[in-house]
Structure 1
Amino acid sequence: MKRSIHHTSVGRRAMMLGTVCALATSMGSAWAQDYPNRAIKLVVPFPPGGSVDTVARALAPQLQQQMGQPVVIENRPGANSVLGAQGVKRSAPDGYTIMLNASLQVVNPLIMTATTYDMDKDFTPITYVGALPQLVLVSAQSPYNTLKDLLDDARKRPGQVQWATAAYGAAGHLAAELLKAKAQVNMPIVPYKGGGPALNDLIGMHVAAMVEPMASAYPQVKGGRLKALAVTTAKRLPALPDLPTVAESGFPGFDMPSWYGVWAPAGTPPDIVARVNNEVRTAMAAPAVANKLATMFFQPVASSSTEFTSFIRREVDMYKDLVSSAKIKVED
């Protein structure tokens, strides 16, 4: 008899649990159906003018058209993109605050001496948007015409030939660190608060060189303000067929593009994550966006949330090795 009562009790609890789960699923679906009903903030943790901002401004108008609500870009620069990321972390997990960031989002916790955020606990990956080749750049007025010219001068004047970087831990910074290590040269890194300010100082020859993604670098090259010495991808670019790769310039196997993703605060309902993922992937395929991104040499991916999570894990493993070997640390 007791056994029968026990089974009945378990059965009732199971039925109650099933009802609760069904209600939660129903509520999640209702939220997703009602979403969005007001403006969405797309946070860019850098100032205007850099590659992250450029990609965001290509996507936002199309997302706004698709979703029927304003998609407002909010530039929140500072602290190596940490300020913007922490603001998103503290935002309500309701899909109305999302963030577009580069690989720096996953590198920061590896290089900061102070606690910034926990990549796994504080954010929900939405989609791996895609990647950009990077260019090794100097001012149009620079005497360097090849990567060899730059590195040879750095060897003659150790510590005096400086790299600019949009931020410590950014893809351009990591590419410069890797190049320094392979070339065995002493070239200090000068960090800026974004690609735009760094490019301006590079044009003015306040720093000697920079590695920067194509989205923000190529217009300056095309406009005659900067010279490209090499591209960081494994293959040459069709638009710049005469520009050698870093690998061809004496560093076989060198391949380091800049990649971009969209994140939401942790706890964002799965239905809303799926909705944003679908909207971003649809926007990436829209002719207006695809054509604009193509002019930046952007290589679209637009992954699922699960695929993006797996990609992040692989990238973190690679960055850990580079950060350790190059002893990259940002002091509090």
Structure 2
Amino acid sequence: MKMLSRRHLLALAGLLAIGAPFGAGAADAYPTKPIKIIVGYSAGGAVDLIARSVGQRMATILGQPIIVENKPGAGTNIAVKALIASPPDGYTLMLAANALAVNPTLFQPAPYDLERDVTPVSLVARVPVVAAVREDSEWRTLQQLVSAAKAKPGTLSVATPGNGSTPHLAMELFQHTAGVSLRHVPYKGGAPAITDVIGGHVDVVAVNALEASPLAKAGKLRVLALMSPERAAVLPGVPTVAESGYPGFEASVWYGFVAPAGLPKPVLTKLHEAVQKALESPEVRDQLAAAGGVPLPGATERFDKLLKSDAVRYGKLIREAGIKPD
């Protein structure tokens, strides 16, 4: 017989675990050792902060330490591959963002298959993408920016954290909706993009609210609109894109826990319940609110549906706009 690959052995183990003796007794015992949360971004960023906040509360609920391991690089593909290579036993999770749904289209050949390689566990939170200009900009509203862009097609520039990032895709969607054309300037992260907008080198920046709000409060950035469906307490008085004349528009950064494919159902249930309880914690809610985040409790099926719909929505946009990774 041919030797089975590690992936085949892991998948087989997962199937056996689902169908047999991983019953109530084993589920009751889980977890019996520390759990690892992989983060595909550097320490100190939005995903890292949320992973540590929610993970700390989950550790108390599950009775085991939770360790956050940062594996940045390749647009989070390094982290996803580390997750996929892990045993589907509930001891390795990943706090993923929109890139999880985007990358199978953005990168070719596809680095992974969502349905084959990943088990959605639970959504955690949503953070708005914002469109902002420097504080002394002549544009005080989103409509003024749109009018200027229509008067000079392709001349105004927009900075984003990189090609294929959620803010980049959000701005591509907005340009399509508003009927404008902006010159895209990709950066290696939100901080340098913001710096160049403040310095007057780029006209507008699209980043998540966590990165923009401190500079808005410091009087260095003016946030024109939130791309979330509702306003954010961290940026009081800032309207949404929908309120600014584009009803139904929405583009946010979401975060959710995923596990390797083949995760036994009893373990999935226990992990999902732990996330839901963590999101009920006032401490976690306060920390999310400070980052501009809105908790997203709900069934695993809700997260699964979002993953699939975003893969379709952003996949179509990437193909039509010819977007390539950095």
- TM-score of the two chains, using structure 2 as the length reference: 0.82
Measure the CA separation in 1 of the matches of 2:192 and 2:160: 10
1:264 matched to 2:264: no
User: 1:238 Cα deviation (Å)?
Assistant: 5.6
Q: Which runs of 5+ in 2 are unaligned?
A: 1-15
Give the letter for the 2:302 counterpart.
E
Task: Give per-residue Cα distances to partners, 1:142-189, cap 9 Å, x unaligned.
Answer: 454333444455556655543232343333122111122234444233
Q: 2:170 aligns with which of 159, 167, 175?
A: 175
Alignment check: 8 A CA contact 2:17 2:264 kept: no
Does the CA-based 8 Å contact 1:49-1:216 persist in structure 2? no
Residue pairs, 1:186-205, within 5 angstroms? 186-205=181-200
Structure with max Cα Rg? 1
Q: Give the match for residue 238 of structure 2.
A: 243
1:75 corresponds to which of 58, 70, 75: 70
Find the counterpart in structure 2 of residue 322 from structure 1. Answer: 317
The whole-number CA distance in structure 2 between the counterparts of 1:240 and 1:226 is 12
Using the TM superposition, give the Cα deviation of residue 204 of structure 1 relative to its aligned residue in structure 2, in angstroms: 4.5
1:71-150 to structure 2, matched below 5 A, reads 71-140=66-135, 142-150=137-145
Secondary structure in 2 matching 1:182: helix
Aligned to 1:59: 54
Matches within 5 A, 1:17-56: 25-56=20-51
Q: CA contact under 8 A between 1:80 and 1:168: conserved in structure 2?
A: no
Q: Amino acid of the residue matched to residue 99 of structure 2?
A: L
| 2:304 counterpart of 1:309 | yes
Counterparts in 2 of 1:159 and 1:262: CA distance versus 1, 3 Å? same
CA distance in 2, matches of 1:207, 1:80: 24
Q: Report the alpha carbon displacement of residue 289 of structure 1 after superposing the two structures with TM.
A: 0.6
Q: Which moved more, 1:211-220 or 1:80-89?
A: 211-220
Q: What amino acid maps onto 1:46 in structure 2? A: Y
* CA offset digits 1:24-50 (Å, max 9, x no partner): 543354543343333322112122344
Q: 1:97 to 1:150 in 2, by over 3 A?
A: same
2:89 match: secondary structure: coil
Report the CA distance shift for 1:69/1:217 in structure 2 as closer, same or farther (over 3 A): farther
1:126 deviates by 0.4
Are the aligned partners of 2:233 and 2:292 in contact in 1 as well (CA < 8 Å)?
no
Q: Distance in 2 between matches of 1:227 and 1:22?
A: 53
Cα distance in 2, alignment partners of residues 28 and 53 from structure 1: 33
Give distance in 2, aligned partners of 1:38 and 1:199. 42
Kindly state the Cα deviation for residue 278 of structure 1 after the two structures are TM-superposed.
Answer: 1.2
**Secondary structure at the counterpart of residue 133 of structure 1:** strand
Is 1:299–2:294 an aligned residue pair?
yes
Check 1:206–1:280 CA distance in 2 against 1; reply closer, same or farther (3 A cut). Answer: farther
Q: CA RMSD in A?
A: 3.0
**Which amino acid in structure 2 is aligned with residue 217 of structure 1?**
A
Q: Which moved more, 1:179-188 or 1:126-135?
A: 179-188
- Compared CA separation, residues 266 and 23, structure 1 to 2 (3 A): closer
Percent of aligned positions with the same letter in both sequences?
36
Shift of 1:196: 4.5
Paired residue type of 1:251:
Y
Range with bigger deviation, 220-229 or 101-110: 220-229
Matches of 1:168 and 1:28, distance apart in 2: 45
Task: State how far apart, in whole Å, the 1-side matches of 2:196 and 2:94 are.
Answer: 27
Q: CA deviation at 1:227?
A: 1.8
How far is 1:141 from its partner?
5.2
Say if 1:103 and 1:259, in contact at 8 Å, map to a contact too.
Answer: yes
Q: What's the TM-score, normalizing by structure 1?
A: 0.80
Q: CA deviation at 1:100?
A: 0.8
**SS across alignment from 1:26:** coil
Aligned to 1:10: none
Does 2:280 correspond to 1:285? Answer: yes
Aligned residues: 312
Q: What corresponds to 1:215 in structure 2?
A: 210
Question: Post-superposition, which runs of at least 4 consecutive aligned residues in structure 1 deviate over 6 A?
Answer: none
**1:165·1:198 contact (CA, 8 Å) conserved in 2?**
yes
In terms of mean alpha carbon deviation, does 259-268 or 27-36 score higher? 27-36
